A and B are shown apart, each in its own frame.
Chain A
């Protein structure tokens, strides 16, 4: 398949692997920010192509994983209201809240529906005028434009039964949070290509300059990742702190201006809690005042219940790259995809889910004899 197969070509990957081996001398740690990239690395076992002096650390870029428990509890609470249809992306349905997940809420009679596009949630609102539709708007800069578009569409149609439960997060503030943490030693960053597609590279130039660290905007296919690692290692070996763009077939330096405009029209920055990590300044998006009639938090009454995260889950440390999933005592035991203790075991972008799926039995030293 065009634009896919060539990026999974083992010969090309082998060539880049040799190039990485030929230039890499330092003992370094680099972090891929996005959970989608973590999955590609584990799915194709790309570590086998990288010298052992390069330590790959997995970052916090899994939107499902970092959505605060409080929001999941509120989504569940909303879904249990008689007149509400709670609409969500598929990935969110199995993330555990304090007591249960949205799938369990659905089994208990809640009307929970899964959509592929935020605009589908507007259609549900049009088709069900007697119901109140709440769209669980999560994700990073990648989903924000489409979610903003949904709000504008609801406004255009004059809907008064459409709301969003907004838990948008912004990636650069989280990167800055990690870079300013003295316990985390990073020599280079591999930035999430799709976030950069929307927002461009300017924010990364600022971070790179401030923290003296090279950053490479990276795609998601195996060859993308190998190429980006090569570019990053070269920068590190040459002691350069540039921002480079490996994913140039998609990422422009200025980003997608139209998408940025629509985000700014509908949303405004606010401090936001990252699940397992804590509150990070200006790292979230909320609806601007002029769109407050669509804000579920302002238009529904919530019970004042305490939220709780499972105490043994070390998701916070995993999301900050301080520990790997296999270092968690619950990993693969009490915590498995069927009953996850934390969000990283749920999502198709979560590091624990990736380790469980592709890496759980690595100790057996599996080799295929074909």
Chain B
């Protein structure tokens, strides 16, 4: 479940708000403050067994049919960026959340909040991009809503999409399912989306263009599920990056996670950009990266299946699940020492010098 908006629950505030009396940007940043809002406010107030699973989407069963249901809002600036736009992102993001539940995505909704004065031509571009992304993933956009707000009351365009998918009977993917010994595989290089966005937004010119990794992961996930019945957990490493998602999984499953820094693929141009900005690529957002937790006996064939897929060419085993240090992510650094990889605290802010 994601957070981007204020919510007035109308009850006594159970939050230790960490000294913040108002929502600050970091509450939507995917790190510790986001987690606090989700766990201490929304999960507590909405209180039900489906929500308790803290999955990327809700997994519900109706008349013996298992469904995944999810929603996400897209408020990205800039709305057009190298490798995608808010339209393709809003479709891919939601169908990826469904795929992470092990579901085959079927139907998507689209709700637009558009600022007065927004060019119709750009809305066309975005809509066509959504259509292309939906066709590419073989899902249909079947319902929607349109609201227009006064100039200055929104930022060009916000899109909310919800999605429904169907989960095969035997598939049981959940962050709670990972087990000691599970091998953790990622489907390629990290941090491309976040760096692409910030480069475009701030007008940075790097030698080679950094392109967002925004893509649909449902095809890749189906391939993975075809070759193994022992995939326990899958998560797309979006806001907060690989480090935050691994921490979430370690905490919710109460397992330890060990990763190796030199096994985590990062392209050189992304690494350079991160060095310049003072960012740690482990905390930078992705929009087409999945972390797959699979039993060790199946790890080779899952890795091979991933490498054979167009969205998994650079797949790599980056670590494993252990019983030690439950709830924590430990990394073997490039120089051979080990350290804690923490949850992102607040927004990642560029350093001064």
Contact = CB atoms under 8 A, between A and B. Distances in A.
Whether A and B are associated in the same complex: the answer reads yes
A90 interface: yes
Nearest to B332: A368
A28 B36 CA distance: 44
Given A64-B352, A337-B345, A358 B340 contact: yes
Interface in B256-294: 258, 260, 268, 271-272, 275, 277-278
Interface string A17-46: 000000000000000000010000011111
Nearest to B338: A368
Interface string B128-147: 00000000000000000000
Contacts, number: 139
Contact of B23 (A107, A114, A222, A364): A107
A339 B271 CA distance: 30
Interface string B298-324: 000000000000000000000110101
A369 B346 contact: no
A107 B26 CA distance: 11
Interface in A307-361: 336-339, 347-349, 356-361
B277 A116 contact: yes
A338 B333 contact: no
B20 interface: yes
Nearest to A5: B334
A62 to B, nearest CB: 9
B340 A366 contact: yes
B1 to A, nearest CB: 20
B260 to A, nearest CB: 6
Given A45-B338, A107-B23, A1 B272 contact: yes
A246 interface: no
B4 interface: no
B78 to A, nearest CB: 16
Given A336-B345, A361-B340, A370 B332 contact: yes
Contact of B351 (A42, A91, A367, A369): A91
A91 B352 contact: yes
Contact of A94 (B322, B337, B346): B346
A327 B33 CA distance: 26
Interface in A2-25: 4, 8-10, 13-14
Interface string A196-222: 000000000000000000000000001
A246 to B, nearest CB: 17
Interface in B92-134: none
Contacts of A347: 351-352
A352 B202 CA distance: 30
A40 to B, nearest CB: 10
Contact of A116 (B258, B330, B335, B350): B350
A358 B353 contact: no
Nearest to A2: B268
Contact of A338 (B322, B346, B351): B346
Contact of B20 (A45, A104, A222): A104
Contact of B335 (A8, A42, A139, A338): A8
A43 B339 CA distance: 7
A48 interface: yes
A140 interface: yes
Contacts of B340: 357-361, 366
Contact of A4 (B271, B328, B345): B271
B333 A63 contact: no
A245 interface: no
Interface in A93-143: 93-94, 103-104, 106-108, 114, 116, 138-140, 142-143
Contacts of A44: 333-335, 337, 339
What are the 3 closest A-B residue pairs judged by CB atoms, nearest first? A90-B349, A45-B337, A337-B345
20 contacts: A8-B335, A13-B335, A46-B337, A63-B353, A90-B349, A92-B352, A104-B22, A104-B24, A108-B22, A116-B350, A194-B353, A336-B345, A337-B32, A337-B346, A338-B32, A338-B346, A356-B342, A359-B339, A360-B342, A366-B328
Interface of B: 18-26, 32-33, 36, 202, 204, 258, 260, 268, 271-272, 275, 277-278, 319-320, 322, 324-325, 328, 330-340, 342, 345-346, 349-353
Given A44-B334, A44-B339, A358-B342, 6 more contacts: A9-B335, A36-B351, A92-B352, A116-B350, A194-B353, A338-B36
